Every structure is written in structure tokens, then in C-alpha cells.
Amino acid sequence: MSTARRKPYPFDIFEPKWQQHWDRQQTFHAPNPGELGFDSAKSKYYVLDMFPYPSGAGLHVGHPEGYTATDILGRYKRMRGCNVLHPMGWDAFGLPAEQYAIKTGQHPAVTTAQNVAHFKGQLQRLGFGYDWQREVNTTDPGYFRWTQWIFLQLYNSYYDPELKKAQPIALLEDALSLDPQRKAEWSENVYLLGTHSAYAGMDEEHRASLRENLLQYARLAYVSEAPVNWCSELGTVLANEEVIDGKSEVGGHPVERRPMRQWMLRITSYAQRLIDELDGLDWPEGIKLLQKNWIGRSEGAEVEFKTAEGSERIIVFTTRPDTLYGATYMVLAPEHALVEKIVTEEQWPAVREYRDKTARKSDLDRTDLAKDKTGVWTGAFAVNPVNGERIPIWIADYVLTGYGTGAIMAVPAHDERDWEFAKKFALPIREVVSSSPRLSVGLAGGGGSGVCNSEPLECFVGEGFAVNSGPLDGFSSEDAKAEITRLLTEQRLGFQTVNYKLRDWLFSRQRYWGEPFPIVWENGQHRALDASELPLRPPELADFKPTGTGEPPLAKATDWLRYSDKATRETNTMPQWAGSCWYYLRYCDAQNAARFVGTDAERYWMGGGQPGGVDLYVGGTEHAVLHLLYARFWHKVLFDLGHVSTPEPFQRLVNQGLILGEDGQKMSKSRGNVVNPDDVIVEYGADALRGYLMFMGPLEATKPWSMSGVEGIARFLARVWRLVMAEQQDGSWALGAVSAEAEPDKAQLRVIHASIKKVTADIEALSFNTALSQLMIFTNAFVNTTPRPLSAVRTLLTLLNPFAPHLTEELWQNLAARFGDAGELADAVWPAWDERLLIDDEIEIALQVNGKVRDKIVVLKDATREAVEAQARSSAKIAEWTAGKEIKKVIVVPGKLVNIVVA
């Protein structure tokens, strides 16, 4: 009685054997153009995984799900004769590593190295065909040197709104110094840089400083004093995307808004291109939509109001300029710069109290109280530019600083939020849009518009026809928008514009474990390091904890900090997303010491095919608006500057679905339903794990784990094993009854060719579960055949190889030892099918009467329509069902069915 469970086949012996073999032989190394062994006659296939963050917890089963899918594609494309680039690396900078290091008192470099080694070991035990010579690690100076270099590209560029692309900042510098006229134009229109709305909301002092520092401000990487998401618990600021429900995505700590000097990347300049250029991509529609919504384009107008005293301008953004006549009050965000200038003495105490209260509230609280509107009157009035009406100016937290201009005109009759607010504070409500065309019912006096003073009974947010709107009356909402915009433009009171929800990317973090900025400060001005000074390594710091004050930990490194007698280094570091923005480019030429990626290598792996880019990118949906948007942005900048050859990085994107625990719940430590891939490999082997992950359902579906499902796949693989191997008396395995002379019978031949066809199509379509079920059918068709035809067995092993590479390679080798054969299965050629063998001479088809199956008959494969119909009519059952009825129509679907329609 042995305590160890007997293995159905000796995977524990041959799996490590083949893993070592592939590693020693560098089987999956993909030579670059110009490298020995490179074959330019082959076409390229670049298949990419989202590289993991090597956390202390190790791999979970979600990782190998996507990785197995790409591995299957890579191995398959290799057998189809492609040069396959299938790399792996580590996204190793970032908060968790640093927090873990603080907790354990070890340097993050040490813990990161340990975690990487652990992850790599786990991945290697799964038998993935990676080209490890291209391994990248974002924390490696040889890597982040180029992350810093790309930052300098951004820093030294601006976005030209006319060319709609990034240009070297030197061009702007020259243009502006040569052409004072143009400089004046640009200074007056800083919004050309793509920050129109932000500029409109600024106070004059801020604007003046902007104009003065136009060149600095125009850069794609610039410094801003804007309010940011500050998390005191983490001791850093966070990007909008990293804040969820007013809490940090990492750790769930409270986040407050605080003005700080930060580095920003001007992603908003690319908003339109980031939307438009999604069109040509083979991505899930849902992800495209998610990105579009995140960028949040909306068309409308900016309209200038003046305070009643006429001293201040208040600019608002609205998507409904047609409702301008219905604006009965205005609202500024509590933080709006203008509030201090317009608030009256009597209202100051109330305003100050309200502002303090909002500042203390997290975004979460603000959302929670969404139902109950709050606000305070400033005591000031504005003038509605179209009708000269005095309307009160309020502050309220339902108006956000971060969107539009931070100020709105409130049209309570046609906006739900304004409606609620007006109801609560008894502000006037005037209907200016009617759902049906009708005449104004107001008085027609003094050339002014007719105004109906009775308040509408409910809020109407739809489009319709303008009423109570002076010259707009009777216009459809669409026409009214165009007309009012025209009028406003004429009077220089407004203009048509496009607003985006997307904010510029807050790019600095007050952390130790990230890329230092290649920037020094002198006399309050920043300037770039020279590329030759890269990489800029972080200082060796014994104490790298956050200071808690917002001062970055790098400031503690006094020697490092000093760049020269006059200049000091920037102490912020880059966010974790930086390294992952371009890693797919580094893979193309990972060892290049002279460039971030060699030109030839980039052209070959990223260019190549028609649309270009990575041919297949597989990863989780959680990166839909973070990594995938940032990477596209960086790529476009590099493209504009001529450093890469395609405008988009990832041509085809597929999201693998979430794997739930056996209880149908999300896997989590607290639920105790987490599956560790290592345990599964020990028990069932890597091939069984890979096979199960692919068999459990469609790649993109969310699906629960099942241990007995793994056993099912293990049983199938064991059946394949025994198809080739026979167990000996002593328990060892030897080649079984396989014969080179044996031929598959007709039915088997059909199964073989149907399998080649289906498995090929299914792999291309990433439908791995159905490919495997076909391979089971293939296998089952031969289990009772002895001896097994060698050709059939070899075809089966070839088709199964991408899924179960160890098992099939081992069996292939055993067959070769007896029958002789050149080479390894990994290098074999993918089989082709013969369409003629797929169809039997006779086919069974269904006979229907009024769509219901009543009989089945066997017809010759090339029987004519008429012959099939005649045969159908001669069926006794059909005669029975159609007896005494008029046959109105007979539909013959060749090879499928005959449907007889009776009255």
C-alpha cells in the first residue's frame, strides 16, 4: 500500500525533463533581423501577455489562463512557419513592493528579486515557450534608463493643434522667437494647447504666469500646481484612475484633494486621436466603449457670463446652449478661484463654512449625499448674456472643479440636478424646451421674448422645441443649438467647443520605488538631464519610508540630491504605469544598449503586417482604461516623433475572463477558495492544468474552478498516453501497439481530417475549449483500435502539442525511437486537411413537416435537390404526416434537411 497517489502517466518525470531541454536548447528563442538563424522568408507573429507584477503571493490561476492561451497561439504559429515573438517580463516598480519592503524591513530591490525568481520558477513549471533572452524587468537600470529617455521625449515635445501631432519643443521655440505675431497669438490662446477649459477657469494671476512660461507649459510633460488626490496613509498623490470611491485603489485608504506641485503628462491633447484611432483595432467592443466613455467627449459651447458689477467673467461649459434662456442661476464649484472675488461680506461666513465642509468631505461622501443637494448663495449676481437678467451665483458641491470650467449655468427646467437644487432652494424654474412645437404663450412686449412665468410641473431633459427663448422660439433643439452658438460667436460671448472628461495624467509620486525623473531644478526652473546622463539611478537609501509631509523620500538623500552648486534633482518618482507603457517595444530588442529599441527590430516585429503592432495581446479587463490608454498615448507620441513605425501598439486585444473559486465566488484568501497552480501541477501535472484552463469554457467568460474538471482533463491526457504507451509488468511504460503499416479506416480518416480542420479554425478563433473537445473525439475514435496507425497518432500529437507540449513531445520522442523521425515535435509542421475526406458518400438528413423532425433518411452526398426531395416524399412517415394535406412548399437544404410545408 503506497501512500503516494499513483500517477496515471509519469508527468512528474518528463515535464521537468522537457522544460530543461527547451531552456538548454533555447528552442523558443526568436532571432532578430540580422541575427544568426533569422529567416526573413517567414512572416512574423508577435503574441503578448500582460506582464505580471511579481507580488509576494506568487502566481494565481488567473495568470496561467491567459498565458496558456498565448502559448498555444505561439506554438501553433511556430508550427505554421512563423517567426514567433513570445516574451515575458516583470512590472516590478510600484507601491506594493515598497510597502512589503517597509513591512519586512528589507530593501525593495531584494524582495523584488526574490519575487521575480519565484514567479519565473512557477512560469517555467508550466512549460511556456517564452524567449527568455528577451526578459525585461522595469526596475533594471538598463530598462528604466529608456523609460527616463522616453520621458525626455515627452518633456522636449509639444502638441501642435494644427498638425494634430507632437513636435520637438525646439520648433515652437524657434517659431515663437522668430514671429512675435505668432507668439502673441499663442499667448492669448493658451487653450490651443488643449487646455482651453482649464485656462478659462483660472484666475488672472495664474493665466499671466502661464503666458510668461508658455514654452514650459506647452511641453507634453509639464509642472502644474493643480489640486491632486493626496493619500496621507500611502504618503503619495494618486492618478484619478487610482482612486476608487474616494479611496486609494491600493489599500483602500482615504484620499483628499490638495493643491501640490506635480508633474503632468498632457494626454488630453491626444483625447480625440485616442478615440478616433480605436476604430481600426480588433478589440472587444466593450473595451473600446469603456475607453471612449472614459475619455468622455462631449460637444457643446462655452459661454461667457459677467458678474452684475461687470468686473469678472464666468465661463461655463454646456452641452445645451439652446437652453440658455432658461438659466435662472449659476453655480461655481466651491473651490473655484472666482469665489473669493465675488462673495459678499454678509455671505462670507456661510461660504467659508460650506467650503471647509466640502474640503473635508471625501469624494465618497460627496457621492453618497448625491440625493440631497447642498449649496450656499455667494451674495453675488451674474448677468445672463442673452436676456440681461440678473441671476444669483451659488456655490455647490454638485459642480466639480475637475470637469468643464468648474462653473455652470443652471437650467432647472431641463436638468435633473439643477431641478432638484432649484426645488430645494426655491429658485425660479423656467421652461425653455417643449416636447412639441408650439408658440410662446408669454407676453410679446417691448421686442423682448415672451416669458411664461408659470413653472413646469416636471423636469424635461429631452430635446424638443425652443420656447420662451426670444429669437430661438420654435427652433428644434438641434437648430437652436446651432443658432445660439452662431449668435454668441458673433457677439464674442461664446463659441462651439468640445469638452473631455479625461484629465491630464498626474505623473509624479512621492515614493522611493520608482523611476527618478531625469530633471534638475535651478533658480526655480526645471530642465532636462542629457540623455548621456541616463540611467539616473535612485539613491541608496536606508530609510525609504514616505515622509508623510508630501516631501518625497528621495529628498532625504542629500548627496544624490545635489546636482551642482546651483542645481538640485527632482525628488518625485514616476508612477508604476510608466514602465508598462512601452515594455512591448523593449521586448523587440531587449538587449539593445544604444537605443530603446533598434529600428530594424521595431520595424520587423511591430510593423510587418498590414495594420501593424502586436498581433495578439491577452490580459485582464481591469486594464481597460489605465495601462491600455497610457500605453496608446506614449506610443502615439513616439510615433509622432518618428521613433516607432505604427500609430497603435496593439492590433488585436482579447480579455481573458475571471476564474472564480469552486464556490462560484471571487477567489480570495479570506474565503479560502484560492487555487494555487503549484499544487495542481504537483497533483496532475502542468499539461493537465493547461488543458483544464483551456477546456473549462470560453477564454473570455467568467467561470468557476472545478477540481473534478481538472481530473477529467488528466484522464483524457492519460488516455492519449496509453494510446501510445503500454504499462509493463514492473509498472514501467514502454511503447505500445502502434504500427507504421496500420491504416485508419474510412470513418477514422474522416475524424482525423475533421479534427485538423476544426482544431486549426478553433485555435485561430481562440476557441480552445471546442478544439480540445474535438481532440477528445479524435482520441476516442482510436482507443479501441489495435494496432494504432502511426500516422494518425502523429497527427493527434501534433494537434495536441500546443495544449499539452510535454506529454506530446515525450510520446513523439518515444515514437521516433522506434520508427525513426527527424527532429522534435515543437519544430514539426502543422498538418493540413483534405476537404474531400471530410464528407462521407452518404449523409443522414432530417425530414421535417412544418419545421418538426418526422423522419431521417440517408442520401448520397451529391444527390440533386430533386432526388433528395423525391426520396423525402417517398418516406412512409412523411406520407403519414402529410396525408390529406396540401403541400404548399418544399424546402431542401443540401446536406442538412428537407422541410415540407403543408396547409
User: How many whole angstroms separate alpha carbon 490 and alpha carbon 7?
Assistant: 84
Q: Which is nearer to RNA, 123 or 898 (CB)?
A: 898
User: How many whole angstroms separate alpha carbon 163 and alpha carbon 67?
Assistant: 40
Residue 195: count of CB within 10 angstroms of its CB: 21
Q: Min. distance of Cβ 372 from RNA in angstroms?
A: 8
825: burial class by Cβ within 10 Å (0-12, 13-18, 19+)?
A: buried
Range in contact with RNA (rule: CB under 7 A) among 441-449, 552-560, 823-831, 852-860: 852-860
Q: Which is nearer to RNA, 85 or 631 (CB)?
A: 631
Does position 671 interact with RNA (CB under 7 A)? The reply is no
Q: Which is nearer to RNA, 78 or 753 (CB)?
A: 753
Q: Min. distance of Cβ 842 from RNA in angstroms?
A: 12
Does position 468 interact with RNA (CB under 7 A)? The reply is no
> Which of the 8 DSSP states describes residue 39?
-
Does position 272 interact with RNA (CB under 7 A)? The reply is no
Question: Out of 320, 627, 632, 643, which residue is the one contacting RNA (CB under 7 A)?
Answer: 320
Collect all residues with Cβ–Cβ distance below 8 Å to 15 and sequence separation of at least 6. 125, 127, 685, 686, 687, 806
Question: Out of 776, 816, 838, 839, which residue is the one contacting RNA (CB under 7 A)?
Answer: 776
Question: Out of 216, 232, 673, 769, which residue is the one contacting RNA (CB under 7 A)?
Answer: 769
Range in contact with RNA (rule: CB under 7 A) among 64-72, 177-185, 711-719, 816-824: 711-719
Among candidates 733, 772, 611, 731, which has minimal Cα distance to 279? 611
Within positions 373 to 392, which residues make up the interface with RNA, using CB under 7 A? 373
Question: Out of 43, 133, 293, 525, which residue is the one contacting RNA (CB under 7 A)?
Answer: 293
Q: Which helix (H) or strand (E) holds 204?
A: helix 204-212
Q: Min. distance of Cβ 20 from RNA in angstroms?
A: 28
Q: Min. distance of Cβ 859 from RNA in angstroms?
A: 11
Does position 335 interact with RNA (CB under 7 A)? The reply is no
Does position 360 interact with RNA (CB under 7 A)? The reply is no
- Beta strands, E only, 294-347: 297-307, 313-318, 329-332
Strands 653-655 and 616-619: parallel
Among candidates 461, 411, 404, which has minimal Cα distance to 195? 404
CB 311 within 8 A of CB 290: no
Question: Out of 341, 417, 603, 652, which residue is the one contacting RNA (CB under 7 A)?
Answer: 417
Task: Return the sign of the alpha-carbon dihedral for residues 71, 124, 11, 59.
Answer: negative
Q: Min. distance of Cβ 657 from RNA in angstroms?
A: 8
Q: Min. distance of Cβ 829 from RNA in angstroms?
A: 26
Does position 574 interact with RNA (CB under 7 A)? The reply is no
Does position 208 interact with RNA (CB under 7 A)? The reply is no
CB 520 within 8 A of CB 567: yes
Range in contact with RNA (rule: CB under 7 A) among 28-36, 259-267, 281-289, 442-450: 281-289
Among candidates 46, 27, 50, which has minimal Cα distance to 37? 27
Among candidates 219, 242, 172, which has minimal Cα distance to 637? 219
Does position 326 interact with RNA (CB under 7 A)? The reply is no
> Which of the 8 DSSP states describes residue 535?
-
Q: Min. distance of Cβ 753 from RNA in angstroms?
A: 16
Does position 24 interact with RNA (CB under 7 A)? The reply is no
Q: Which is nearer to RNA, 545 or 854 (CB)?
A: 854
CB 258 within 8 A of CB 230: yes
Within positions 811 to 850, which residues make up the interface with RNA, using CB under 7 A? 844-846, 848, 850
Q: Min. distance of Cβ 493 from RNA in angstroms?
A: 16
Question: Out of 147, 499, 646, 755, which residue is the one contacting RNA (CB under 7 A)?
Answer: 499
Question: Out of 122, 157, 485, 899, which residue is the one contacting RNA (CB under 7 A)?
Answer: 899
Within positions 30 to 69, which residues make up the interface with RNA, using CB under 7 A? none
Q: Which helix (H) or strand (E) holds 421?
A: helix 416-425
Question: Out of 436, 532, 729, 784, which residue is the one contacting RNA (CB under 7 A)?
Answer: 784
Among candidates 329, 341, 439, which has minimal Cα distance to 391? 329
Does position 496 interact with RNA (CB under 7 A)? The reply is no
Q: Min. distance of Cβ 699 from RNA in angstroms?
A: 9
Does position 853 interact with RNA (CB under 7 A)? The reply is yes
> Which of the 8 DSSP states describes residue 607?
I
Helices (runs of H) and strands (runs of E) counted in the chain: 31, 38
Cell of 536: 539616473
Site string for RNA, 866-895 (x = CB under 7 A): -----------x-----------x-x-x--
Does position 415 interact with RNA (CB under 7 A)? The reply is yes
Strand partners, 74: none
Does position 362 interact with RNA (CB under 7 A)? The reply is no
User: How many whole angstroms separate alpha carbon 184 and alpha carbon 201?
Assistant: 21
Question: Out of 770, 785, 791, 813, which residue is the one contacting RNA (CB under 7 A)?
Answer: 770
Does position 708 interact with RNA (CB under 7 A)? The reply is yes
Cell of 154: 515627452
Q: Min. distance of Cβ 287 from RNA in angstroms?
A: 8
Q: Which helix (H) or strand (E) holds 407?
A: strand 407-410
CB 468 within 8 A of CB 421: no
Q: Min. distance of Cβ 770 from RNA in angstroms?
A: 5
Q: Min. distance of Cβ 417 from RNA in angstroms?
A: 4
Question: Out of 773, 785, 791, 813, which residue is the one contacting RNA (CB under 7 A)?
Answer: 773
User: How many whole angstroms separate alpha carbon 673 and alpha carbon 666?
Assistant: 8
Residue 732: count of CB within 10 angstroms of its CB: 9
Strands 165-168 and 157-160: antiparallel
Strands 842-849 and 653-655: unpaired
Q: Min. distance of Cβ 253 from RNA in angstroms?
A: 17
Among candidates 346, 301, 341, which has minimal Cα distance to 323? 301
Among candidates 684, 626, 621, 627, which has minimal Cα distance to 654? 621
Say whether 168 sits in a helix, a strand or coil. Answer: strand
What's the longest Cα–Cα distance across the chain? 112
Does position 397 interact with RNA (CB under 7 A)? The reply is yes
Q: Min. distance of Cβ 118 from RNA in angstroms?
A: 27
Cis bond before residue 321 (omega within 30° of 0) = no
Distance (Å) of CA 693 to CA 451, 526, 669, 676, 710: 68, 51, 21, 13, 8
Say whether 299 sits in a helix, a strand or coil. Answer: strand
Question: Out of 16, 296, 379, 598, which residue is the one contacting RNA (CB under 7 A)?
Answer: 296
Does position 865 interact with RNA (CB under 7 A)? The reply is no
Does position 290 interact with RNA (CB under 7 A)? The reply is yes
Question: Out of 285, 490, 530, 559, which residue is the one contacting RNA (CB under 7 A)?
Answer: 285
Within positions 299 to 318, which residues make up the interface with RNA, using CB under 7 A? 300, 317-318
Q: Min. distance of Cβ 203 from RNA in angstroms?
A: 17
Q: Which is nearer to RNA, 399 or 868 (CB)?
A: 399
User: How many whole angstroms separate alpha carbon 700 and alpha carbon 711?
Assistant: 22
Count of residues that bind RNA according to CB under 7 A? 85
User: How many whole angstroms separate alpha carbon 87 and alpha carbon 46?
Assistant: 9
Does position 696 interact with RNA (CB under 7 A)? The reply is yes
Range in contact with RNA (rule: CB under 7 A) among 52-60, 385-393, 778-786, 813-821: 778-786
Range in contact with RNA (rule: CB under 7 A) among 86-94, 450-458, 469-477, 775-783: 775-783
Query: Cell numbers 473537445 label which residue?
Result: 773
Within positions 604 to 643, which residues make up the interface with RNA, using CB under 7 A? 621, 624
Q: Min. distance of Cβ 900 from RNA in angstroms?
A: 9
Question: Out of 27, 216, 232, 298, which residue is the one contacting RNA (CB under 7 A)?
Answer: 298
Q: Min. distance of Cβ 501 from RNA in angstroms?
A: 4
User: How many whole angstroms separate alpha carbon 572 and alpha carbon 555?
Assistant: 9
